[in-house]
Amino acid sequence: MSGEKETQKKELGERSVIKASEMDPSFKYKISKIPGAEKIMLCFQCGTCTADCPIARFSDSYRPRKLLRMTQLGLKDRVLSSDVIWLCAACFTCVDHCPQDVGIASIIRAIRNLAVKEENMPIVYRDLASTILKSGYAYKISELRLRKRKEQGLPLLPKANIESVAKLFNITGVSKTIEKERA
Amino acid sequence: MLEIPELRYLIFLGCVVPYRISSYEISARKVLDKLGVELVEMPEFNCCGFPLDPVNHDAMLTLAARNLCLAEEQNLNIMTLCNGCFSVLNHVNKDLKEDKEIREKVNGYLKEIGMEFKGTITVKHLVHVLAEDVGLEKIKEAVQKPLNPLRVAQHIGCHIPRPAKYTGSDDPENPAILKDLIKATGAECLDYMDETECCGNPIIGVNSQIPLQLARDKLNHVKAVGAQALITVCPFCHMMFDLHQSRIERAFNEKFGIPVLHYTQLLGLAMSFSPHELGFKELRVDATKLLNQLGS
């Protein structure tokens, strides 16, 4: 592969000793109160999610089983500051295969949402959110593209109601996240 | 409440299709029109919400719900072209219909913009409209030039079969819906290894190496069975295999040259539309050889 390597700066700290003082026993309860993540405690570490995960096959560090165990253990800081949590592609293979119906993908989403509050968010998400705020669409659709639609016999692309989008961004807290990341 | 008419849908374009994958929209509109499906344009819409779920779940819920409310105002079911849009809109629609707590929370947000989710419509993907509403028989009748000698492979993507609890897929490990649609054109649909595996594209903005490896694996499996084209039904997956195919070839020093067609282009050829009418010139991987073989 041409030069590029999978660079995960902040891995899950597997080589360092876990100190009891690092563990936050309330973390799993906090996670379990988030809609979709209620069943975190049901994970019994069978590893089906990880064996079947297409990302784990090509990643040295992304292991959903491990992420869930660390969450159960209360290794809050390691989990929330990790880059690895951003590798789930939301393919939902683990969701369908989990014998305990843990709902792993939504637990990872819950972890990501908390990590964002700790200012751990890949830049791509800030870009996507900013573009949605500006245009209503996730990608900047160029004037050329818009004009080309006419030549292609396609109907005009409607302008999204960005006032409404901005209001929703404000009340759900996304606006604040984007501003904080910018600062 | 007005009865929702048959074969009439509000088309939800999403962002990826107008951003880059117009060939999908062009071909979908052509074949659906000829099959008697009426598409109504959305007066306006916003991103389905998919890219915001990792950042803020509530924001994803409200963006999706806003689109659902717009469809409720039109009293029409939604048809999406994109798997991601289908996944999010269908999931949120079902959750809001069934879970009072989530519905109340989201309606609290929507009140700020003068909207309320009522739960009166359903969300479908193009493949559901074709296979279930139009029906395979009607599609077979519309085929004028069966694509008999052609051997292709399917990539259905993640979000039509999974998660089964929400998609209602008959068999998420071996979904038949796209295979049946391909067979209806007269083309042969070949089995290959790891057919239902992810294209990898959702994380390409975070890590490009893993998605390229995933897509490379898939293209190798497709090549191994001798498929002449890969058939997709998602603009995001299409981007991965068509737009990024030359990048994958360079990265791994391998040659694939596998044309990646939207299902609606394949069906369109069988329905006697010309490659020009179906937006073939928008494709990055050259499909000339395949078209010559079909005499299109």
| Partners of residue B59 in chain A, C-beta under 8 Å | 168-169, 172-174
B169, pLDDT greater than 60: yes
* Terminal C-alpha separation, chain A: 36
Q: Are residues A31 and A113 in the same domain?
A: yes
A10-19, A39-48, B268-277: lowest mean pLDDT where?
A: A10-19
pLDDT confidence of residue A10: 61
The listed CATH number (3.60.21.10, 3.30.70.100, 1.10.510.10, 3.40.50.11810) that belongs to domain B139-294: 3.40.50.11810
Considering CB atoms only, which of B29, B44, B212 is closest to A159? Answer: B44
**Cβ–Cβ gap A159/B41 under 8 Å:** no
Residue B50 dihedral angles phi and psi, to the nearest 5°: -45, -50
A3, pLDDT greater than 50: no
Q: Identify the band that residue A154 occupies on the pLDDT scale cut at 50, 70 and 90.
A: very high
A15, pLDDT greater than 80: no
A8, pLDDT greater than 50: no
| Partners of residue B16 in chain A, C-beta under 8 Å | 138-139
- Residue B273, helix vs strand vs coil: coil
Tally of domains in chain A: 2
Q: Identify the band that residue A5 occupies on the pLDDT scale cut at 50, 70 and 90.
A: very low
A167 part of a folded domain: yes
Residue B233 structure tokens: 């039904």
- B-chain residue closest to A112, CA distance: B54
User: What is the side-by-side order of every strand in the sheet holding B151-155?
Assistant: B188-190, B151-155, B229-232, B260-262
**Cβ–Cβ gap B202/A86 under 8 Å:** no
**Complex ipTM more than 0.85, yes or no:** yes
Domain ranges of chain B: 8-125, 139-294
Residue A179 structure tokens: 């501003």
Query: What sign does the CA torsion over B252, B208, B194, B245 have?
Result: negative
Geometric angle at alpha carbon A161, from A156 and A167, rounded to 5°: 160
Buried b (16+ CB within 10 A) or exposed e, B224-234: eeebbbbbbbb
A7 part of a folded domain: no
pLDDT confidence of residue B295: 86
Percent of chain B with pLDDT over 70: 98
> In which domain, by residue range, is A25 found?
20-117
Q: Which CATH architecture has domain B8-125?
A: Up-down Bundle (1.20)
What's this model's pTM, rounded to 2 decimal places? Answer: 0.95
pLDDT confidence of residue B107: 98
Q: Are residues A147 and A79 in the same domain?
A: no
Q: Are residues A28 and A113 in the same domain?
A: yes
pLDDT tens for each residue of B59-117: 999 999 999 999 999 999 999 999 999 999 999 999 999 999 999 999 999 999 999 99
CB neighbourhood size of B250 (10 A): 11
pLDDT tens for each residue of A105-135: 999 999 999 999 999 999 999 999 999 999 9
pLDDT confidence of residue A16: 77
Q: Are residues A131 and A97 in the same domain?
A: no
pLDDT tens for each residue of A52-77: 999 999 999 999 999 999 999 999 99
Cα–Cα distance between B132 and B137 in angstroms, integer? 10
pLDDT confidence of residue B3: 53
CB contact, 8 Å: B26 with chain A? yes
Q: Are residues A24 and A111 in the same domain?
A: yes
